[in-house]
A and B are shown apart, each in its own frame.
Chain A
Amino acid sequence: MKHKSVFLSSLILPGSGHILLKRWGIGIGGILLFLMEILTIVQFIIPTFSLLAVKQPNGSITIGAEPYVNDSFIILLGAVVGTILLVVFALIHYTFALNARKMAREIAEFGKAVSIKESFKAVSGELMPNLVTLPKFLLIITFIIIPSILSIIVAFTNYRMPILPPAFLIEWRGLENFARLFTDDRMSALFRDTLSWTVVWTFSSSILVIALGTILAVIANNKYIKGKTFFRTVFILPWAVPAFLTILIFQYFFSKLGGMNSIVLPFLTGQAYDMDRAIGFLIVPELAKITIILIQGWLGFPYVFILVTGVLQTIPADLYEASSIDGGNAFTNFFQITLPLILISVAPVFITQFTFNFNNVVIIYMLTESVVKPIGAEYGPLETIASLGFQLMMKSRFNEAAVFTLIVSTIVGVIVLFSWLKTGAFKNEEVM
């Protein structure tokens, strides 16, 4: 039963179990570590956590006690770092306890435990890969995990212009920002309108991209078509030119002065260019919505085109030979061999395209400015949930922006996780 008491005592005081087993070196090391933990907790974690919620005379609960003395944002940052440190401490205690228990068992069974030197040799195989990949995880914690947690926390506060630390203290507001999406008239109307356009935009642009890419790949890979390399080279171009450039090019191209009005339409209709009759493709809301979906089709299809081309090239020729022996013609070949094989490999692309376009802020942000807003509206009709979060951020309305980005992240996360669980990505030895 000794191993149980050794385990429990190490869990509370790392190293104590090793001292009980007369392993002085590790034991003292553990105690020193514990002293350092106490020092960090007393010096850093307790002071930070005590400032996390301060009740002010007027009844509000603020982060930090006094403006200018305490910077609310730094306190929040410190609290997140402190929480992560506490988790790390707990993990260290657990490792010590596990090791002590193992030693106690070995002593009970064989009369002696593996020496430090030998056990170190045994763990070096464990230590090396962890140490080498550690910097990456430190970067991930610093630049992804901590900022993401902080951004979520902001959704529950009043952090927005003009309440910017250190001149002001940030206040806790609970679920107020979320409730406003439904209770506040302007906010709820904005949310409703944006939501419906977001759904339309996500579905139509994704489907256009996938359909265009697949159809063109099937046509361009037909064995009777000459000049495949030429077509392939041209069809990759929209992907090779950085998207922000093409979006800016199209913004000008579809403007009243641009090529669409001054060259293409006169050529098609035979009427000379007249600036007064020019069509505002990105000015009239309904037209702008169609135009932006078409532009996304132009920008996005090469990815699917290349993917499907790759799939088509891996379909073994025997399949078609066997089919022709059984009396199959071009149509049955396509619908019973080619299409099913394409669909299987394109299925995961549906998920990535949906999440990408749902999250696609760049194209909306670049094209939304010129579109006419409805009277009294603060935001243009092209805004999606994701881009609205971005626009709110630009106006320093951080708490409202956080609500929108939280909604976006949750939806994307749920879709991706669900699709992975369905395909068994976590169990798949290929991925793991």
Chain B
Amino acid sequence: MINKFKLMKWGGIIVSYAILLFMTILILFPLFITVMSAFNAQNTLFSTKIIPENFTWTGNFKHLNEQTAYWSWYRNTFFTSLASMFGSLIIVTISGFIYSRYRYRTRKPALISLLIIQIIPSGSALIALYAIASSIGIYQSANPVLATYIFMSFVYITGGTTMNSIIMKGYYDSIPRDLDESAKIDGASHIQIFKDILLPLVVPMIIVLGIFSFLAPVGDVIMPNFLLASLHSKDTTLALGLKSLVTDFKNSTPNVFAAGAILAALPPVVLFFVFQKYIVGGLTAGGVKG
């Protein structure tokens, strides 16, 4: 009897390891091949070996630097990301504090309207956004590129504030109110309570929401497709620029794309792994709350 149980237990563990390892290969292999092809000389269209025969450290990166507007795409994308991250963080931190700590008549209607507005899929406003952008004249302005990116940042900021305000408010709620009460007795003002007591305590959630509002513009291919359509191809974002590298086989090879993809993936992946603990914690807290 005991032998049978032991056999089942060991069999289970071996099967478990097999599944986990299989999944690990499934995840790492495509990424690994991409990394390898970034170091494959660009005249080779495909490779039948995992380690490229025509190994080159810098060839594809040089091509990226000289033949494409890669760094312009890079700058545009991360400018938008930073702008929308800071914008939405300021709004979300302050309004979360208000919703959690103040009781006023329009508070509940405000929260319910945020919840309902949040349902509207972001794509549903797209038709009008481009028409609005052109009818308020951002494409005819003195600096159309900058104006377009500022307009786009506002759209991202707004899109990120609805649900995030509610998540942030939930996080403030988890901090006991006794803390503010005792500070108030000691004579602290509302601003001091917010700045000195609560703000340091909500930093983990600020990090999580900051990362997600930073990453949302990086991965978006839908909105830039419309809003940037009338701009020059060097003024586009990373997502659209890299997509053009894949479709445009004449001027580039998959190896150049791979080099660009690695540089583009670097900031998000580093952010993710540095703040992994916060992300997992924030997700679990948010997930439990609903």
- Which A positions have Cβ atoms within 8 angstroms of B? 71, 73-74, 77, 125-126, 128-130, 132-133, 135-137, 139-140, 142-148, 150-151, 154, 215-216, 219-220, 222, 224-225, 231, 233-246, 248-253, 257-259, 262-264, 266, 272-273, 298, 303, 306-307, 309-311, 314, 330, 345, 348-349, 359, 361-362, 365-366, 369, 386, 389-390, 393-394, 398, 401-402, 405-406, 408-409, 412-413, 416-417, 420, 423, 425-426, 428, 430-432
CA distance A273 to B162 in the complex (A): 52
In the complex, what's the smallest C-beta–C-beta distance from B111 to chain A, in angstroms?
6
Please tell me if B50 contacts chain A, counting CB pairs below 8 Å. yes
CA distance A144 to B116 in the complex (A): 12
Known: A125-B102, A253-B30, A432-B111. 18 other contacts (CB 8 A): A125-B104, A126-B104, A129-B98, A215-B19, A216-B20, A216-B23, A231-B20, A245-B261, A249-B258, A273-B48, A306-B279, A310-B284, A310-B288, A314-B284, A362-B219, A365-B222, A405-B123, A409-B124
- Contact call B123/A249, Cβ cutoff below 8 A: no
CA distance A231 to B123 in the complex (A): 35
Known: A365-B222, A428-B290. A144 touches B158 (CB 8 A): yes
Nearest CB in chain B to that of A386: its residue: B123
- Contact call B98/A244, Cβ cutoff below 8 A: no
Please tell me if B215 contacts chain A, counting CB pairs below 8 Å. yes
Task: Select A431's contact among B170, B215, B220, B225, beta carbons within 8 Å.
Answer: B170
Please tell me if B254 contacts chain A, counting CB pairs below 8 Å. yes
Known: A135-B91, A432-B111. A150 touches B123 (CB 8 A): no
What 6 pairs across the A-B complex have the smallest Cβ distances?
A: A310-B284, A147-B125, A150-B128, A240-B272, A147-B128, A143-B158
Please tell me if B129 contacts chain A, counting CB pairs below 8 Å. yes
Greatest chain B CB density within 10 A among A220, A248, A272 is at A248
Chain B residues in 8 Å Cβ range of A129: 98, 102, 104, 106-107
- Contact call B120/A413, Cβ cutoff below 8 A: yes
Please tell me if B46 contacts chain A, counting CB pairs below 8 Å. yes
Chain B residues in 8 Å Cβ range of A307: 283-284, 287
Task: Select B135's contact among A77, A126, A148, A231, beta carbons within 8 Å.
Answer: A77
Known: A307-B287, A393-B127. A130 touches B104 (CB 8 A): yes
- Contact call A406/B225, Cβ cutoff below 8 A: no
Chain A residues in 8 Å Cβ range of B159: 143-144
CA distance A330 to B8 in the complex (A): 11
Chain A residues in 8 Å Cβ range of B258: 249
Chain B residues in 8 Å Cβ range of A398: 127
- Contact call B128/A423, Cβ cutoff below 8 A: no
Task: Select B121's contact among A253, A348, A408, beta carbons within 8 Å.
Answer: A408
- Contact call A142/B158, Cβ cutoff below 8 A: yes
Query: How many pairs of A and B residues are in contact by the CB < 8 Å rule?
Result: 270
CA distance A224 to B6 in the complex (A): 13
Please tell me if B231 contacts chain A, counting CB pairs below 8 Å. no
Number of residues from B at the complex interface, CB < 8 A: 95
Chain A residues in 8 Å Cβ range of B58: none
Known: A222-B16, A224-B13, A310-B287. A257 touches B46 (CB 8 A): yes
CA distance A365 to B219 in the complex (A): 13
CA distance A106 to B104 in the complex (A): 22
Which of B66-74, B140-148, B240-248 lies on the face that meets chain A? B240-248
Known: A130-B106, A216-B20, A234-B28. A148 touches B158 (CB 8 A): no
Chain B residues in 8 Å Cβ range of A389: 123
Chain A residues in 8 Å Cβ range of B30: 246, 249-250, 253, 259
Q: Classify the interface of chain A: helix, strand, loop or mixed.
A: helix
Known: A235-B23, A241-B269, A248-B261. A361 touches B132 (CB 8 A): no
What are 23 A-B pairs with beta-carbon distances under 8 A? A125-B102, A129-B98, A136-B95, A140-B161, A147-B132, A224-B13, A224-B16, A234-B28, A235-B27, A240-B273, A243-B219, A245-B265, A259-B30, A259-B47, A306-B279, A306-B280, A310-B283, A362-B222, A366-B243, A390-B222, A412-B121, A431-B289, A431-B290
Nearest CB in chain A to that of B23: its residue: A216
Please tell me if B55 contacts chain A, counting CB pairs below 8 Å. no
Nearest CB in chain A to that of B134: its residue: A73
CA distance A272 to B48 in the complex (A): 9
Task: Report B22-46 CB contacts with A as 1/0, cut-off 8 Å.
Answer: 0110111111011000000000011
In the complex, what's the smallest C-beta–C-beta distance from B281 to chain A, in angstroms?
8
Known: A132-B95, A225-B17, A245-B261. A154 touches B128 (CB 8 A): yes
Known: A220-B20, A430-B290. A73 touches B121 (CB 8 A): no
Chain B residues in 8 Å Cβ range of A253: 30, 33
- Contact call A248/B242, Cβ cutoff below 8 A: yes
- Contact call B124/A245, Cβ cutoff below 8 A: no
Please report which residues of chain B, range 164-197, place their CB below 8 angstroms from some CB of chain A when the two chains form the complex.
165-166, 170, 173
- Contact call A74/B127, Cβ cutoff below 8 A: no
Nearest CB in chain B to that of A303: its residue: B283
- Contact call B265/A241, Cβ cutoff below 8 A: yes
In the complex, what's the smallest C-beta–C-beta distance from B245 to chain A, in angstroms?
9
CA distance A406 to B158 in the complex (A): 21
Task: Select B110's contact among A133, A154, A259, A390, beta carbons within 8 Å.
Answer: A133
In the complex, what's the smallest C-beta–C-beta distance from A251 to chain B, in angstroms?
7
CA distance A416 to B94 in the complex (A): 27
In the complex, what's the smallest C-beta–C-beta distance from B33 to chain A, in angstroms?
4
CA distance A264 to B112 in the complex (A): 52
Please tell me if B62 contacts chain A, counting CB pairs below 8 Å. no
Chain B residues in 8 Å Cβ range of A139: 91, 154, 157-158, 161
- Contact call B290/A425, Cβ cutoff below 8 A: yes
Nearest CB in chain A to that of B215: its residue: A242
Task: Select B128's contact among A151, A244, A249, A359, beta carbons within 8 Å.
Answer: A151
Nearest CB in chain B to that of A307: its residue: B287
